């Protein structure tokens, strides 16, 4: 696919805009694309330019509409129309969701045990009717089982309306339009704790809403010490404690409040310390604390609730075992971990015995699923590999065996024997061995003639697991191999792996991705210049950097909601996320070295007069995480600067946010477009 010669690409006007930092002048001639009234976007020039970009996108995608529609039909054909989750027991009921055939959204249900009738708790299709966008944050059932709290967003701005429904009468009460996350009920079912966001979309308070109280919600905790910290509220597994956390990307501080007495003075577990993070669960009078205070891969300590700062080591840290999470069930401690980068679930009993759940493949993704009760004699787990569909297991703790509860169905057909997966280690330029997971259809050539797609993220300590994607089959069946780059910046190989890809080591993530591309080409998986690539959000930043540094390595690139205006965003502390992002990227306002480093790689600031490969960029008008003007400005600068005539497309979802379109069918349309773009460039 080449640019439609009958349609001219949009040209964004340039308007002088300069700023001086650390004695350096920054010129940003497309700064005007940020509507001064944001988060409201009403400026006619801004909207006109975005609409022109979308029209240009539509015109150039029109010739591949048949391919897109074919792929979309394939994607839909792999989705089970009447899909449902495995029920989860909670008190006297079990709870689950299901999709009715044709529905975009879930219906939530429960039944009384042992043999009650199915009862609808919440219909997302009804809530979403007539809306272009809908997203349910989550649901919470009151301890007495009579009330349902739920929160939803209907424009993608991630400011959720929190509602309480009386399940007997259907009567509803709107609590707030400024919540995030899932609320937590108090023990008496008379109040719920919820997280409040301010006008800058910062999680600043935990509030307590008492049903029927008209005097306003009490503040359980407000973050006033550090504007980069955000608050959250959760619940201990035994339901006795509200867990109120405040944290940024490198430090945390936790307070406990009894669910039976939510206005009691909070119990501080440990004061925040730079670079030290911890989380807590509770069993009886014992705190179980996961912390990186002595080792980057974390250890688990215990403390008496009467002396929360007196820590005693229960599980020592290890260079090879990365402790990722823990849950204090009544009869054992469940631990999520990775051993040499491979997921593990371990159980530790009070007598010191420890057992690891044995999974059936040598490379896979696994973790603890939803377990709602204080104990779990049958521990709900999730499992998949790049060739094995998503599987729900119950692990029988007493017997030490896995019970299969559900295997993802692919209605149009899937034969795992036709596909293969490998995990390779490739040496990066600094000598570090970096893993990459690959899936392909058997018979894929290894002589350099193959078409390879490389996906990456590499930030915030978020690992990209080697798991199954039914969507991906549309690429594999057309001859592509699909690789996941487990680069530094994620925590794929441990917490130090994350630390080695952030702040002053951020460029390791970028060079790892390039070195994996070159390494795979050297091994015959493809050749340089024939590799397509994609990433979103911070992975979109990754795409922007590697396009600037090594444009000739890539055949085509998709950058979804890309964080590409890094320097300007980190210099603007009025933006929703900026202060909380400084521990990840650095604070260029106060630190000249951070300013210079970010300026050296920020994709928008490093666009140069050279040839770039075909590029598809997406954004969301209501996105509070990567604001719409970042991809818009980047596209404008690329159009004005690059020397090639390769296709450059920008699509802004005008009624969506960071995740693109909502609904299980609508979201597939975006996937089909991206796949059609890639396929027309590499074939």
Residues involved in catalysis:
537, 623, 658
Could you give the 3-state DSSP secondary structure of residue 473? helix
Residue 549: CB atoms within 10 Å: 16
Question: E strands, 248-386, where?
Answer: 252-258, 267-270, 278-283, 286-291, 299-304, 312-315, 321-328, 333-339, 342-348, 354-356, 365-368, 378-384
Within the chain, how many helices (H) and strands (E) appear? 12, 37
- Does residue 559 sit in helix, strand or coil? strand
Q: Using alpha carbons only, what angle is made at residue 311 by residues 308 and 314, rounded to the nearest 5 degrees?
A: 125
Sheet-wide strand order for 554-560: 419-427, 433-441, 480-485, 451-455, 531-536, 554-560, 615-620, 648-653
Which residues have CB under 8 Å from 3's CB, separation 6+?
Answer: 9, 60, 645, 646, 647
Measured distance CA(590)–CA(610) in Å, rounded: 33
CA nearest 155: which of 502, 554, 654?
A: 654
Indicate the DSSP class of residue 459. -
Q: How many CB atoms lie within 10 A of CB 316?
A: 11
Q: Does the CA dihedral 424-442-385-471 come out positive or negative?
A: positive
Return the H-helix or E-strand segment holding 87: none
CB contact at 8 A, 514 and 553: yes
Q: Would you say 90 and 372 are in contact if contact means Cβ atoms under 8 Å apart?
A: yes
Distance CA 320, CA 464 (A): 19
Give the separation between CA 642 and CA 626, rounded to whole angstroms.
Answer: 23
Question: For residue 652, how many C-alpha atoms fall within 13 Å in the half-sphere facing its CB?
Answer: 26
CA dihedral of 211, 215, 220, 221, whole degrees rounded to 10: 130
Q: Nearest CA to 235 among 317, 141, 167, 156?
A: 141
Cβ atoms 334, 323 nearer than 8 A: no
Which letter does DSSP use for residue 10 in this model? P
Closest by CA position to 313, among listed 295, 289, 330, 285: 289
**Which residue blocks in 44-155 are alpha helix, DSSP H?**
44-61, 65-77, 124-128
Strand ranges (E), 361-449 = 365-368, 378-384, 391-396, 401-407, 419-427, 433-441
Tokens of 86: 């495995």
């Amino acid at each position: 696919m080449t640019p439609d010669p009958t349609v001219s690409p949009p040209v964004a006007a340039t308007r002088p805009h300069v700023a001086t930092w650390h004695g350096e002048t920054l010129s940003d001639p497309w700064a005007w694309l940020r509507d001064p009234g944001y988060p409201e976007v009403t400026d006619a020039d801004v909207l006109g330019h975005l609409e022109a970009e979308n029209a240009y996108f539509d015109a150039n995608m029109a010739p591949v509409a048949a391919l897109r529609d074919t792929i979309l039909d394939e994607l839909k054909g792999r989705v089970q129309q009447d899909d449902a989750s495995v029920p989860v027991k909670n008190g006297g009921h079990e709870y689950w969701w299901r999709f009715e055939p044709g529905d975009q959204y879930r219906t939530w249900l429960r039944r009384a045990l042992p043999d009650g009738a199915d009862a609808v708790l919440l219909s997302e299709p009804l809530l979403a009717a007539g809306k272009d966008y809908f997203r349910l944050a989550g649901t919470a059932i009151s301890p007495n089982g009579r009330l349902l709290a739920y929160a939803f967003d209907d424009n993608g701005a991630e400011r959720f309306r929190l509602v309480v429904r009386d399940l007997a009468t259907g009567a509803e009460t709107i609590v707030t339009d400024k919540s995030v996350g899932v609320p937590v009920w108090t023990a008496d079912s008379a109040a719920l704790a919820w997280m409040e966001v301010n006008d800058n979309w910062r999680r600043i308070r935990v509030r307590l809403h008492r049903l029927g109280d008209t005097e306003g919600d009490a503040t359980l905790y407000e973050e006033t010490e550090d504007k980069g910290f955000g608050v959250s509220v959760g619940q201990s597994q035994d339901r006795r404690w509200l867990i109120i956390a405040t944290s940024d990307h490198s430090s945390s501080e936790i307070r406990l409040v009894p669910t039976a007495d939510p206005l009691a003075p909070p119990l501080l577990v440990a004061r925040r310390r730079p670079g030290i993070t911890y989380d807590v669960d509770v069993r009886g009078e014992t705190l179980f604390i996961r912390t990186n205070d002595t080792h980057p891969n974390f250890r688990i300590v215990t403390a008496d609730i009467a002396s929360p700062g007196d820590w005693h080591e229960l599980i020592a840290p290890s260079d090879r075992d990365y402790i990722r999470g823990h849950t204090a069930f009544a009869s054992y401690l469940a631990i999520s971990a990775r051993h040499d980068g491979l997921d593990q679930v371990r159980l530790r009993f009070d007598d010191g015995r420890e057992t690891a759940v044995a999974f059936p493949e040598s490379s896979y993704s696994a973790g603890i699923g939803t377990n709602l009760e204080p104990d779990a004699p049958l521990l709900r787990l999730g499992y998949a590999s790049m060739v094995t569909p998503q599987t729900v297991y119950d692990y029988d703790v007493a017997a030490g065996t896995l019970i299969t509860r559900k295997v993802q169905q692919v209605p149009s057909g899937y034969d795992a024997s036709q596909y293969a997966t490998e995990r390779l280690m490739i040496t990066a330029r600094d000598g570090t061995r970096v893993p990459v997971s690959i899936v392909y259809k058997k018979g894929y050539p290894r002589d350099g003639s193959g078409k390879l797609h490389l996906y990456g993220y590499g930030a915030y300590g978020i690992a990209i697991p080697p798991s199954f994607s039914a969507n991906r089959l549309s690429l594999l069946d057309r001859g592509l191999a699909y690789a996941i780059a487990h680069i530094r910046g994620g925590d794929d190989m441990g917490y130090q792996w994350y630390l080695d890809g952030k702040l002053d080591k951020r460029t390791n993530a970028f060079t790892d991705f390039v070195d994996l591309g070159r390494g795979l080409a050297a091994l015959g998986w493809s050749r340089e210049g024939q590799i397509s690539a994609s990433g979103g959000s911070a992975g979109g930043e990754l795409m922007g950097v590697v396009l600037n540094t090594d444009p000739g390595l890539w055949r085509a690139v998709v950058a979804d909601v890309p964080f590409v205006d890094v320097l300007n965003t980190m210099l603007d502390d009025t933006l929703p996320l900026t202060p909380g992002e400084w521990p990840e990227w650095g604070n260029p306002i106060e630190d000249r070295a951070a300013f210079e480093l970010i300026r050296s790689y920020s994709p928008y600031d490093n666009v140069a007069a050279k040839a770039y490969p075909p590029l598809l960029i997406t954004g969301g008008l209501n996105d509070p995480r990567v604001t719409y003007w970042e991809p818009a400005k980047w596209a404008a600068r690329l159009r004005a600067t690059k020397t090639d005539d390769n296709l450059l497309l920008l699509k802004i979802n005008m009624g969506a946010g960071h995740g693109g379109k909502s609904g299980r069918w609508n979201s597939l349309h975006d996937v089909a477009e991206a796949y059609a773009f890639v396929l027309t460039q590499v074939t």
